[in-house]
Structure 1
Amino acid sequence: MTGYKNCIMSKFSGPEKDEICLDLIKEDPLSIRIQGKPYTVVLRTPGDEIAHVAGFCLGEGIIDSSDDFENLGYCGEDVNVVTVTLKPERLNRIPDILKRRGFISQTSCGICGKELVDDLKQNITPILEGPKVDAKMATHCLNTLSDHQTHRQSCHAAAIFTGDGKLLSVGEDVGRHNALDKSIGKLVQDGKLDMGSVLVLTSRISYELVQKAARAKIPVIFAVSGPTALAVELAESLGMALVCQTRNKDLFVFCGEHRLAMV
C-alpha cells in the first residue's frame, strides 16, 4: 500500500514555532465503472484496489461470487479507476442494482449515503448454522490484529479468520468500510469466500459492516468497540454473533451467543 504523503506542518510550543515534516495517510478517489459506465466513487487509502472493488461488488449484491465477473481490472495504468465487466447471465439478474449509481461513499459514513435503510437489505439471507466458534480464540485474533497491520497507527483494519483461527486476509484503509471490502475482496479473488468464520475489526460495528459480513456469510464479528442498535437488529435477524471487548477485557455478546463456545 502506497498510502503516505509528506506534509510540512507548524508546531507551536507556547509562542515558539517549529516546522516539522509528518507522513499523513493519503485519501484518494477510486472510480468504479461497471459495463463501461460510472457506478460510484469511493474515497479510500490507495492500495489493494482490485480486492477493494471485488469486496464492494459482493457487499452491494452486484456479484455473488468471483464467477460472476467477466473481467475485473484497472482502466489502463490508472490505479484510481477500476472497471468491472459482468457475465451476461449475471447482468440479467441485477438490473435494479445497477440503476443505483452515482453516489459517493465517504470513508467516515455508514448508511448515510443511501436513500433507504431497507435498500441495504438486498440479497441478504440468514446464515446457516455451523460449528461454534471458540470465543477465547476469537478474542486472541482481535487482540493480535495489530500484528498483521502495516499501518496500525493510521488505518482501520478488518481481518478474516477460519473457525480455528487461521488468518485468511487483512484489509487496511482510513475508511472502515473500505478496509472490510478489501479483506472480503481478497477472499473473493482467492476462491476462499466459504472459509471465513470470524471477522475482527478495529472499529465500531456499524449496520453496513454487518451487511457486508452477511453477504460474505461470515457468522461471527469481534470488534474493539460496540455495535449500533441497527447493527444488532440486522445481525440478530440473520443469526450472526456480535461481540466487543471492554477495556477490562470482559466480552459483551450483543447477539448470537449460540454461535460461540464460551470456555
Structure 2
Amino acid sequence: MTTYLDHQVIHWNKGTSTSLPHKLVGEEPLSIRIQGNPYSVIMRTPGDEIAHVAGFCLAEGLADDPDDFTSIGFCDGSETNVVTVTLSKSRQEKIPQHLERRGFISQTSCGLCGKEIVDDLYQTIHPLEDGKTTDLGRAADCLGQLPRHQPLRGHTRASHAAAIYNSNYELLSVAEDVGRHNALDKAIGKLFLARKLRDASLLVLSSRISYELVQKAARARIPVILAVSRPTALAVKLASQLNMSLACLAKGSGLYIFCCHHRLLSLSSM
C-alpha cells in the first residue's frame, strides 16, 4: 500500500519558477462490509486497515470487545480496499438496528443536529470515572513530542496523527492518516485488538477536537484529550457531559483547558 506518492511541482516565488520533487499523501477509499453487506466507505491513507476497521467498529457500537469479531480481514488478499467483518451470533442479536442500516453514513464523521447528537450519545455512552489524575506538564510534553511520531507528515505535510499514552506517559499506540478520524480509529484499533485499551489514559491529537473524536475517545474510555488546535463547542458540551477533560495549545505558551479540570494537575504552574 502506498502512503504517499512522488510528484513534480513548480515552486513560484517572487517571479521565479523552479521545478521541485514533492510528496503527496495517499488517499484511497476503504469499503467496510459487515456480515457480507456494504456498511460504509471511508476515504483514508492506506495502511493499518484491520486496526482501522476494528477501531471504527468500536466507535460505531458494532463491537464492544474483540471477541465480538468472528473474523476481520481483507476481502481478497492484502492489496485490496475492502475489509469484511463477521460478528459473533451473540453480538448480532444485540445490535439488530445497526445491521439493518443501508446506505449508512458513519455517525462519527457526519453532521446532524448538535443537541440531537449529544442527547443520543449521552444515552449510549456512560460518563467516564474520575480515576487517576493527569500531570499537565508531562501531558504537554507528550503533545510536544507528537511530530517525532509523524513520519508521513514529515514527507507530505498533509496528514493527521493520534497518539495514545498510558498513565505513566508511555506511548502505547500511534497512527497517521489523511483523515483525523481515521488516524484515531487506527490508533484505538491497534490497542483494541491487542486487548490493551484498558491501559489508555491520554490521547494526543494533531488536529482540532471535534465531537466525533470525543465520541471515539469516550467509547475507548480515554479520559483526557490534548490537541494542537481548539475544540468545537459541541465537543466541549459532549466531553463535559461524559466527564472528559479537553485541552489544547494556548496562544503563546501553555494550554487552554475547556472542561473537567479536576482531573488535571499543575494548574497553578500553567
- Tell me if both proteins adopt one fold, taking TM over 0.5 as the criterion: yes
1:79 aligns to what SS in structure 2? coil
- Report the more deviating stretch, 17-26 or 160-169: 17-26
Q: Does 1:7 align with 2:7?
A: yes
Equivalent pair of 2:223/2:244 in contact (CA under 8 Å):
yes
Deviations 1:186-242 (A, max 9, x none): 001111010100000000000000000000000000011111010011000011000
Question: Structure 1 residues 5 and 240 mapped into 2: Cα distance closer, same or farther (>3 Å)?
Answer: same
How far apart are 1:119 and its partner, in Å?
5.2
4+ aligned runs moved over 6 Å, structure 1? none
Alignment map for 1:1-263 (pairs within 5 Å):
2-13=2-13, 17-77=17-77, 78-103=79-104, 110-112=109-111, 117=117, 120=121, 123-152=124-153, 153-262=157-266
1:151 aligns to what SS in structure 2? helix
Question: In 2, Cα distance between the equivalents of 1:94 and 1:150?
Answer: 38
How far apart are 1:18 and its partner, in Å?
4.6
- The gaps in structure 1 that reach 5 residues or longer are none
Question: Structure 1 residues 28 and 104 mapped into 2: Cα distance closer, same or farther (>3 Å)?
Answer: farther
Question: In 1, Cα distance between the equivalents of 2:223 and 2:66?
Answer: 20
1:92 aligns to what SS in structure 2? helix
Equivalent pair of 1:61/1:122 in contact (CA under 8 Å):
no
Deviations 1:156-210 (A, max 9, x none): 0000000110100001001000000000000011110101000000000000000
- Superposition RMSD in Å: 2.1
Question: Structure 1 residues 113 and 173 mapped into 2: Cα distance closer, same or farther (>3 Å)?
Answer: farther
What is the count of residue pairs matched by the alignment?
260
1:76 aligns to what SS in structure 2? coil
Question: In 2, Cα distance between the equivalents of 1:114 and 1:190?
Answer: 35
AA matched with 2:260: G
AA matched with 1:40: S
2:110 aligns to what SS in structure 1? coil
Give the alignment's TM-score, normalised by structure 1: 0.91
1:205 aligns to what SS in structure 2? coil
1:85 aligns to what SS in structure 2? strand
- The gaps in structure 2 that reach 5 residues or longer are none
1:42 aligns to what SS in structure 2? strand
Question: In 1, Cα distance between the equivalents of 2:15 and 2:138?
Answer: 51
Question: In 1, Cα distance between the equivalents of 2:175 and 2:193?
Answer: 13
AA matched with 1:98: L
- Identity value in percent: 54
